[in-house]
Amino acid sequence: MINLEGKVALVTGASRGIGRADALTLARAGADVVVTDILLESDLESARRAERYGPLAQAMLATGHVYTERTAEEIRAMGRRSAAYRMDVTDPQQVREVFARVKEEFGGLHILVNNAGTLDHLGQLEDQKDELWQRDLQVNLTGAYNCCKAAWPIMKEQQDGRIVNMSSVAGTLGGFGQASYSTTKAGIIGLTKSLALEGARHGIRVNAVAPGIIGTEAFKMGTGHQERMIRRTAFRRLGEPEDVANAIAFLVSDLARYITGIVLHVSGGIELFTF
């Protein structure tokens, strides 16, 4: 029932995990999809870029979990148009250039999924690192702002836009040892609701998705408390990236044409009181 034919989508942070699943799911629903990330398989500077963004990006590169160009190839194999662009969401000029290129090469932009984010800054308040606090703000919150701002004039001109911002249950519940991450994901909710109000008169719908414990490559590589977190969910199991991607496909489809400004939990009931 979800038909996105004739729509152009852009997904940030789409080299793996939820972002990659988002891109592939939107393409299966009929959209042409632009795949962006700071890491590309063919980029000889990827190691340097990963070092700048911390241990998680470095680990994903070192273990071969970077599929930006491969994702675009898979989308083209479905008969859809696609391209893989390197884009740092913290660089407003680079973001504007990529969005201008998308408009020129694809004829417009109807769907934006702000998925790019950092997730590796853990520590109680006294152990939070100031430089990583700033990094998380720049990537998780300002990065989404930069992309929304670049997409806005294109979508206003079309009088047609659908934006999904990636929040988290950490943004609605808080997260022990996750002050910077939780703060940015709570900020995403405020950004989403404000832009939903502004966008409604221009045919732009803006919503947020709040995933819970999802079985991405990053989660599976972690150590420590995975089983404890899984038991905290009502379902007592992990979610899959496709569970989030399916929710996003709904939100950007015409089936959700009267929905804007919401936070949709895809969390297995982790926010419920379980025992």
Q: Spelled out in words, what is the top-level CATH class assigned to the domain 8-266?
A: alpha beta
The per-residue pLDDT for 55 is: 75
Number of H helices, E strands in the chain: 12, 7
Residues in a beta bridge with 84: 35
The per-residue pLDDT for 62 is: 77
| pTM, 2 dp | 0.93
Q: Which residue has the higher pLDDT, 39 or 56?
A: 39
Q: Which residue from 83, 193, 204 is spatially nearest to 154, judged by alpha carbons?
A: 204
Q: Which residue from 100, 96, 102 is spatially nearest to 84, judged by alpha carbons?
A: 102
**Dist. CA 196–CA 201, nearest whole Å:** 9
Q: How many CB atoms lie within 10 A of CB 239?
A: 22
**Residues 10, 111 contacting (CB under 8 angstroms):** yes
Is residue 51 pLDDT above 80, yes or no? no
The per-residue pLDDT for 223 is: 56
Q: Which residue has the higher pLDDT, 20 or 220?
A: 20
Helix, strand and coil in the chain, % to nearest 5: 50, 15, 35
Burial of 111 (0-12, 13-18, 19+ CB in 10 A): buried
- 125-140: average pLDDT: 93
Residues forming the active site: 181
- 200-214: average pLDDT: 97
The per-residue pLDDT for 218 is: 74
Stretch among 50-59, 187-196, 251-260 having the lowest mean pLDDT: 50-59
Stretch among 54-68, 69-83, 172-186 having the lowest mean pLDDT: 54-68
Helix pair 68-77, 17-28: axis angle to 10 deg: 10
- 94-111: average pLDDT: 98
Is residue 29 pLDDT above 70, yes or no? yes
Is residue 224 pLDDT above 70, yes or no? no
Q: Which residues are within 8 A (CB) of 226 and not within 5 positions of it... i.e. 6 or more apart?
A: 213, 219
Q: What is the pLDDT of residues 243-271, one digit of tens each?
A: 999 999 999 999 999 999 999 999 999 99
| Banded model confidence at residue 114, pLDDT cuts 50, 70, 90 | very high
- 24-49: average pLDDT: 92
